[in-house]
């Protein structure tokens, strides 16, 4: 893009420098100066202007003739055809007059016209280059060089030469060159530039690291797993570029309108020429009005109206970790009035965590130490949650013996000489454990939507441990932001009605559709669409993929499955539900700019065309010269491009800092949901 901008600037400067003397030696220039100067070398004025015009026509303006040739070969009409016709007609007519012995020529009209159009194109390309900043910034994230260990020797080489299987050495403070899997070392990695995650992520052997992220603390040895176009960064860049180069429905409409506008301009220019001849005007006058009509109706602004807005919108999303896969997704997102959100993993964290530990007859830490010893032997998700809580509480670590898993009910083991039973009410009944007051506590917690696990030591009930899949920290803010946009929010879940309703009430969600089988989610989305709603579906799992495909817009949480991400139209790299309203706000802002630009382009042509044709010339003396027409046409294009760039100033919610959630008391904790397979 930068090379193209430089080339356009050079063409413009050549045209400008030569158009100035051409204009000064023209009749218009002599009128402005008040006196005439003879052309140098004894040349006639028209011959001198012809010589100066040659580089303008055959270098600076040649891109218009080449573009027109390509368009006609493709059997289409575009603004290149109009500019080529306007410049070529004025120059060829002037050449004919010069070769046949003199008369009024239009070299200054042809060259100044080319100069102003080139100026407009230069500004447009600079504006579009600015809209591409997001892609350029992403490309610059990857480090240029990498340190590879080969045959036990550290070798520094260009990142492009790293191959899959190379062992990388990533020192503290260095950027990770490509996607890799950690084989040695432990460190914190800042992935914010790629994923938007503000907090460093701990990396240990066996875990994946993303190219272009920054190694913060420890030294890492990692095996390259993806290089070149296969890296996560390259995929993100490709997705953004594809979106910027794709065409939205509005743009396709503008392209068709531009085609017919060119057709009308050519017919209008011919008709203007014939009408002025018919009313007695001279051939030069008729040609000037015809050229002005052709120039003023160039659909350059119309052609820029939507692509520039799309480029800015997709770039703005990329900076926030929101990837629009194509322009259609960007435009369609602006029309959404209903957002359907999956519960588990989207509105909630997708993993159970302890919300309450109610101990009786034994200290809470002592209970946690005994129960955790049992649960460390289990692979159940609830068991892992207990082990994590025990580690956070820094309770003593005990070893369990004689461990026995009771399928569907819990586990039993010996810890510190005590027989510890952890599980559900049925297991306690089998073990002849009387629950007493803890039975009522267990029922209250279960009624609140939590999974209640009972613990008994040596045949005596000692605690109830409640677990829940807690809402994400930003879920309530996301729902509130959607409401402020006038959007209805629907929770779609396979969970039971009571649990889903409690979470929905806590988050402020309007409608709950619960107890839905995975295969039926798409049908529920289709039902909403049949009722006249424009639906966006937000999900993260394999079972969400059909619903994502069915919805008008599918939005995938970035931490979700590959299937969900591939099916979706929008990917939220930060896995934050608060980015859903941000994406819709970007879509609305982009569509607003597209409409403003289209309105300006169409209105400009509607007003300028009759003036250019000379409709008001004899009655009001109002007319436009080809040069002024070219300047106003270029100015219109620049206005459209700059207006699109103003989208960068769209006010979006500030990205919240990621914090470690605090453990709250039972009363303060928002209601969670009971994960499948309760014990």
Distance between CA atoms of 461 and 562, rounded to whole angstroms? Answer: 44
For residue 662, what pLDDT is reported? 33
pLDDT digits (tens, 9 = 90+) for 619-655: 888 888 776 776 676 677 778 878 888 888 887 766 5
Over residues 53-75, the mean pLDDT reads 92
Q: Where are the alpha helices (DSSP H) in 320-453?
A: 327-333, 364-375, 381-393, 425-430, 437-447
pTM of the full structure: 0.62
In DSSP terms, 537 is beta-bridged to 340, 554
Helix, coil or strand: residue 588: helix
Residue 475 predicted with pLDDT over 50: yes
Distance between CA atoms of 472 and 490, rounded to whole angstroms? Answer: 16
Instruction: Give, in order, the Cα–Cα distances in Å from 499 to each of 76, 448, 562, 669.
Output: 60, 7, 28, 14
| Distance of alpha carbon 669 from the chain centroid | 34
Out of 126-135, 136-145, 281-290, 485-494, least confident range: 126-135
Q: Which of 373, 381, 378, 380 is nearest to 353 (CA)?
A: 381
pLDDT digits (tens, 9 = 90+) for 572-605: 888 889 999 999 999 999 889 888 887 887 787 7
pLDDT digits (tens, 9 = 90+) for 71-124: 889 888 777 887 888 788 889 988 988 998 767 787 888 888 788 778 777 876
Question: Active-site residue numbers?
Answer: 342
For residue 661, what pLDDT is reported? 33
Residue 657 predicted with pLDDT over 50: no
pLDDT digits (tens, 9 = 90+) for 271-306: 999 999 999 988 888 888 888 887 777 666 666 667
What percent of the chain is predicted at pLDDT more than 70? 82
- Mean pLDDT over all residues of the chain? 81
For residue 541, what pLDDT is reported? 64
For residue 677, what pLDDT is reported? 36
pLDDT digits (tens, 9 = 90+) for 14-23: 999 999 999 8
Cβ-defined contacts of 9-15 (< 8 Å, 24+): 9/122, 11/59, 11/60, 11/61, 11/63, 11/118, 12/60, 12/115, 12/118, 12/119, 12/121, 12/122, 14/55, 14/56, 14/59, 14/60, 15/56, 15/60, 15/61, 15/111, 15/114, 15/115, 15/118
pLDDT digits (tens, 9 = 90+) for 506-545: 899 989 998 887 668 888 999 999 999 999 999 876 567 7
Residue 567 predicted with pLDDT over 80: no
């Amino acid at each position: 893009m930068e090379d193209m901008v430089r080339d356009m600037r050079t063409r413009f400067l050549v045209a400008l420098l030569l158009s100035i003397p051409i204009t000064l030696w023209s009749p218009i220039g002599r009128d402005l100066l008040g006196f005439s100067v003879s052309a140098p070398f004894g040349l006639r004025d028209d011959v001198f202007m012809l010589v100066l015009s040659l580089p303008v026509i055959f270098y600076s303006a040649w891109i218009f003739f080449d573009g027109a040739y390509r368009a006609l070969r493709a059997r289409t009409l575009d603004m290149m055809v109009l500019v080529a016709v306007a410049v070529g007609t004025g120059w060829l007519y002037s050449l004919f007059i010069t070769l046949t012995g003199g008369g009024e020529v239009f070299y200054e009209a042809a060259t100044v016209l080319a100069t102003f159009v080139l100026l407009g194109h230069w500004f447009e390309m600079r504006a579009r280059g600015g809209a591409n900043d997001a892609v350029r910034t992403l490309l610059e994230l990857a480090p240029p060089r990498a340190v590879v260990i080969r045959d036990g020797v550290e070798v520094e080489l260009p990142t492009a030469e790293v191959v899959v299987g190379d062992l990388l050495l990533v020192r503290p403070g260095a950027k990770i060159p490509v996607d890799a899997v950690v084989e040695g070392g432990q460190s914190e990695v800042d992935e914010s530039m790629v994923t938007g995650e503000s907090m460093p992520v701990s990396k240990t052997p066996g875990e994946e690291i993303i190219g272009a992220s920054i190694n913060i603390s420890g030294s890492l040895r990692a095996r390259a797993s993806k290089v070149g176009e296969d890296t996560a960064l390259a995929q993100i860049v490709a997705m953004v570029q594809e979106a910027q180069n794709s065409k939205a429905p509005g743009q396709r409409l503008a392209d068709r309108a531009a085609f017919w506008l060119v057709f009308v301009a050519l017919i209008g220019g011919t008709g203007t020429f014939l009408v002025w001849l018919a009313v007695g005007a001279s051939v030069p006058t008729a040609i000037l009005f015809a050229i002005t009509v052709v120039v003023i109706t160039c659909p350059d602004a119309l052609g820029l109206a939507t692509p520039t807005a799309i480029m800015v919108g997709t770039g703005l999303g990329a900076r926030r970790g929101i990837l629009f896969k194509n322009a259609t997704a960007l435009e369609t997102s602006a029309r959404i009035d209903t957002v359907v959100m999956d519960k588990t993993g989207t509105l909630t964290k997708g993993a159970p965590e302890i919300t309450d530990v109610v101990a009786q007859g034994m200290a809470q830490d002592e209970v946690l130490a005994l129960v955790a010893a049992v649960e460390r032997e289990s692979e159940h998700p609830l068991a892992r949650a207990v082990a994590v809580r025990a580690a956070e509480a820094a309770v003593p670590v005990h070893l369990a013996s004689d461990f026995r898993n009771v399928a569907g009910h819990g586990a039993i083991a010996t810890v510190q000489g005590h027989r510890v039973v952890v599980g559900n009410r049925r297991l306690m009944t089998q073990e002849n454990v009387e629950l007493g007051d803890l039975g009522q506590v267990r029922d209250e917690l279960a009624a609140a939507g939590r999974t209640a696990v009972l613990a008994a030591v040596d045949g005596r009930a000692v605690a109830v441990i409640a677990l829940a899949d807690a809402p994400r920290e930003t879920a309530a803010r996301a729902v509130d932001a959607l409401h402020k946009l006038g959007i209805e929010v629907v929770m779609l879940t396979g969970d039971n009605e009571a649990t889903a309703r409690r979470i929905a009430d806590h988050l402020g969600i309007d409608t709950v559709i619960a107890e839905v089988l995975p295969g039926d989610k798409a049908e529920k989305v289709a039902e909403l669409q049949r009722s006249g709603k424009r639906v966006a579906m937000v999900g993260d799992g394999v079972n969400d993929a059909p619903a994502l495909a069915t919805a008008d817009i599918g939005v995938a949480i970035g931490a979700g499955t590959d299937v969900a991400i591939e099916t979706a139209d929008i990917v939220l790299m930060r896995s934050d539900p608060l980015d859903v309203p941000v994406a819709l706000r970007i879509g609305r802002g982009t569509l607003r700019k597209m409409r403003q630009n289209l309105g300006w382009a169409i209105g400009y042509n509607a007003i300028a065309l009759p003036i250019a044709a000379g409709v008001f010339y004899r009655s009001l003396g109002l007319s436009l010269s080809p040069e002024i027409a070219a300047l106003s046409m270029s100015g219109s294009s620049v206005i459209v491009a700059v207006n699109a760039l103003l989208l960068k100033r769209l006010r979006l919610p500030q990205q919240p800092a990621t914090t470690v959630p605090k453990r709250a008391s039972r009363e303060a904790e928002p209601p969670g949901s009971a994960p499948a397979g309760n014990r």
